[in-house]
Amino acid sequence: MSKHQFQTEVTQLLDLMIHSLYSNKEIFLRELISNASDALDKLNYLTLTDENYKNLNYQPRIDISVDKEAKTLTISDSGIGMNEEDLVENLGTIARSGTKSFIQNLSGDAKKDSSLIGQFGVGFYSAFMVASKIEVTTRKAGETDAFMWVSEAGAEYEITKAQKDTHGTSIKIYLKEDESEFLEFYRLEGIIKKYSNHIPFGIWMDKEETIYPEKEDEKPTKEIKNVQINKASALWRLSKNDVKDEEYKDFYKQLSHDSSDPLLWMHTKAEGTLEYATLFYIPSTPPMDLFRVDYQPGVKLYVKRVFITDDEKELLPIYLRFVRGIIDAEDLPLNVSREILQQNRILESIKKASVKKILGELKKLQEKDKEKYLTFYKNFGRVLKEGLYGDFENREALLDLVMFKSSKREGLITLKEYKEAMKEDQKSIYYITGENEALLKNSPLIEQFKAKDIEVLLLDEEVDPIVMPMVHEYDKTPIKPVNNSDIDEEIKEDKEETKQSEEKYQSILVKMKEILKDEAKDVKISSRLSDSPSVLIYDKNDPDFQMQQMLKQMGQDNLPKVKPILEINPKHEIFEKLLKENNATMLNDVAYLLMDQAKLAEGMKIEDISGFAKRLNKIISKAL
């Protein structure tokens, strides 16, 4: 016998399971059955692809038994099983770094919290919601030694050698005093049909049936029959007409470990050059690891109904990582390796068709039920936008799906809605990026657009500065940022007036360029300002401030300094007074203040705060 200490995260998790997550405790059975199904999947794959396992006596099934006197519930499978090392790794340690996130993300809403259990790969421990003690007896396929893992949910567990005639795993749960409902056949049958009806292996239980005799004078007798509880059918292989909505929803919950109903699902069976079946779900709430680098992929790959992998991130593009579901291909070899998977033409064709199907169904949802689509978009729109960066083939479809905030309207709008509302003489779709919607709405950069009643899209998500420069047009209409110098010609009202202003303030422009030569690439007359005295823009070939920040976050710290262009408002009284005063010292202070003020309006930091304060105080004292 050997004693082991639980990993710290496991101890915290067990405490939560025992004391916090009660309202949906029946899901422990879903989790244990899912684990058993995974063990059968793995062994099934080996018996078909590995010579060492082809002669193994493999009869896949899951058995559930109860002992009412001992108050125990046992879930057994004939799957791959575990050895001592596997027991320590799988039941004593949680390898996934997302476990801390799981604990941190618990909200106190027991139903919501319980839906996270499976997502974070900690489903086995949910059994401690109903158990005072758990015994796991297991023997790994191909090995002779069996082991028993025992824990009463304290800080430790024990592993001892055991006797087991066959490979597989049996989990015996010693139920707490008030959990006897899980000893009743009809209660267990209801849970299995609700969550595990389409597990691809039979789930068997003993059922007591009453046999009524043909003769009236004879008494009825009781007979125990071993019956299969679930359908054990691959739901994704069935015709859509044969599957009810409730079955789709229940299968999603079993597949995703999510207690909520899915927002949308799409079921495809392709025949012809390629034969495959897919069943994809859009969750109603985002997975907790959606923005983690080590996110768990949501799509399982099968070949001819044989499970291959659920850990392949190449099955769908990364921007569709929120999708849950199944891909089942007919034309792939069962022993396909991960390296082959990533280069396989058949799988690539299925992937392309699947992406078009998913985006097409989202488009239909957008057109038929905008409120439901908005729910989807608020959860996953930020991720969907990532596709604009690299998926050139589907960029047009993605541009129809993405939504933006607006300078003129509340809520989110599509590019189609923007274009339909464009002014007759408007040439382009305009946008501004930044970190804060309120700052963007009041940015000096869009003053002239407001004055001309031109709508500007407000892009305040981190992904926007990365993806939007990759998008140059929508439906043959150019898409342009308002802070680029090449839109000057489009918003100028009177070129002659601008020319006159340039001549009038030529001396000031020349002096300000010299004063700010280390800060600004150029100082120019602005045609985009109506109220503010100054604003920063960028040369069309230079990354703007938001893009520079994103590049730094991505580890590119050695980028050359990019200087913005300072534009000044010739109609502002500051410049009339500067021209009249012709005071070199005053111009020096004002030039720096205008530069710093423009930086603040952009959400940038002022590097020389002390200098800024001194100049500001000097100007205030002169004004007084």
Domain with 557 in it: what CATH number? 1.20.120.790
CATH number of the domain where residue 210 is located: 3.30.565.10
CATH number of the domain where residue 448 is located: 3.40.50.11260
Q: Do residues 495 and 618 share a domain?
A: yes
Tokens encoding 143: 């090995």
pLDDT cut 70: percent of the chain above it:
89
Which is it for strands 306-309 and 324-329: parallel, antiparallel or unpaired? unpaired
Question: Is residue 73 scored above 90 in pLDDT?
Answer: yes
d(CA 316, CA 282): 13
What angle separates helix 584-601 from helix 573-581, to the nearest 10 degrees? 160
Q: Of the spans 217-226, 310-319, 555-564, which averages the highest pLDDT?
A: 310-319
Q: Do residues 154 and 60 share a domain?
A: yes
pLDDT band for 97, please (50, 70, 90 cuts).
very low
Question: Is residue 116 scored above 60 in pLDDT?
Answer: no
Buried b (16+ CB within 10 A) or exposed e, 33-72: bbbbbbbbbebbbbbeeeeebeeeebebbbbbebeeeebb
pLDDT band for 431, please (50, 70, 90 cuts).
very high
Tokens encoding 162: 């055991």
Domain presence at residue 392: no
d(CA 267, CA 354): 10
d(CA 275, CA 350): 9
pLDDT band for 486, please (50, 70, 90 cuts).
low
d(CA 115, CA 220): 44
Domain presence at residue 390: no
d(CA 545, CA 439): 14
Is 72 within 8 Å of 66 (Cβ atoms)?
yes
pLDDT band for 112, please (50, 70, 90 cuts).
very low
Q: Of the spans 117-126, 147-156, 191-200, 415-424, which averages the highest pLDDT?
A: 415-424
d(CA 75, CA 88): 20
pLDDT cut 90: percent of the chain above it:
42
Question: Is residue 405 scored above 90 in pLDDT?
Answer: yes
Average pLDDT over residues 358-381: 96
Q: What distances in angstroms separate CA 232 from CA 195, 251, 252, one per listed residue?
A: 12, 11, 15
Furthest CA-CA distance within the chain: 123
Q: Do residues 60 and 162 share a domain?
A: yes
pLDDT tens track for 490-520: 665 566 777 888 888 888 888 999 999 988 8
Question: Is residue 592 scored above 50 in pLDDT?
Answer: yes
Question: Is residue 283 scored above 90 in pLDDT?
Answer: yes
Number of separate domains in the chain: 4
Last residue of a domain, one of 228, 254, 275: 228
Which element (helix H / strand E) includes 552?
helix 545-553
Q: Do residues 206 and 60 share a domain?
A: yes
DSSP 557-577: TTPPPPPPEEEE-TTSHHHHH
Q: What confidence score (pLDDT) does residue 264 get?
A: 96
d(CA 398, CA 363): 9
pLDDT band for 63, please (50, 70, 90 cuts).
very high
pLDDT band for 118, please (50, 70, 90 cuts).
very low
- Other CB atoms within 10 A of residue 110 CB: 15
Q: Out of 294-303, 311-320, 462-471, 544-553, pick the least confident.
A: 544-553
**275 Cβ contact list (under 8 Å, min separation 6):** 329, 330, 331
pLDDT band for 554, please (50, 70, 90 cuts).
low
More confident residue, 99 or 211: 211
Q: What confidence score (pLDDT) does residue 154 get?
A: 73
* Structural domain for 594, as ranges: 491-623
Q: Do residues 464 and 363 share a domain?
A: no
Average pLDDT over residues 101-110: 54
pLDDT band for 96, please (50, 70, 90 cuts).
very low
Last residue of a domain, one of 360, 375, 390: 375
Question: Is residue 436 scored above 80 in pLDDT?
Answer: yes
Q: What distances in angstroms separate CA 576 from CA 297, 508, 522, one per listed residue?
A: 62, 10, 20
pLDDT tens track for 388-399: 998 999 999 999
Question: Is residue 336 scored above 70 in pLDDT?
Answer: no
Domain presence at residue 386: no
Average pLDDT over residues 58-74: 96
Is 258 within 8 Å of 222 (Cβ atoms)?
no
Q: Do residues 7 and 80 share a domain?
A: yes
Question: Is residue 98 scored above 50 in pLDDT?
Answer: no
Q: What confidence score (pLDDT) does residue 269 get?
A: 93
| β-bridge partners, 135 | 150, 172
Residue-averaged pLDDT of the chain: 86
CATH number of the domain where residue 259 is located: 3.30.230.80
Q: Do residues 561 and 418 share a domain?
A: no
Q: Do residues 486 and 514 share a domain?
A: no
Q: What confidence score (pLDDT) does residue 177 get?
A: 92
User: Which residue shows structure tokens 């029959």?
Assistant: 225
pLDDT tens track for 221-258: 888 999 999 988 889 999 999 999 999 998 998 888 88
Q: Do residues 350 and 428 share a domain?
A: no
Average pLDDT over residues 124-142: 91
Average pLDDT over residues 87-112: 60
Q: Do residues 283 and 243 share a domain?
A: yes
More confident residue, 580 or 114: 580
Average pLDDT over residues 444-468: 90
Q: Do residues 42 and 158 share a domain?
A: yes
Q: Do residues 363 and 459 share a domain?
A: no
Report angle CA 209, 210, 215 to the nearest 5 degrees: 145
Q: What confidence score (pLDDT) does residue 95 get?
A: 46
Domain presence at residue 56: yes
Domain presence at residue 393: no
Question: Is residue 168 scored above 80 in pLDDT?
Answer: yes
d(CA 247, CA 531): 61
Last residue of a domain, one of 490, 521, 551: 490
Domain presence at residue 460: yes
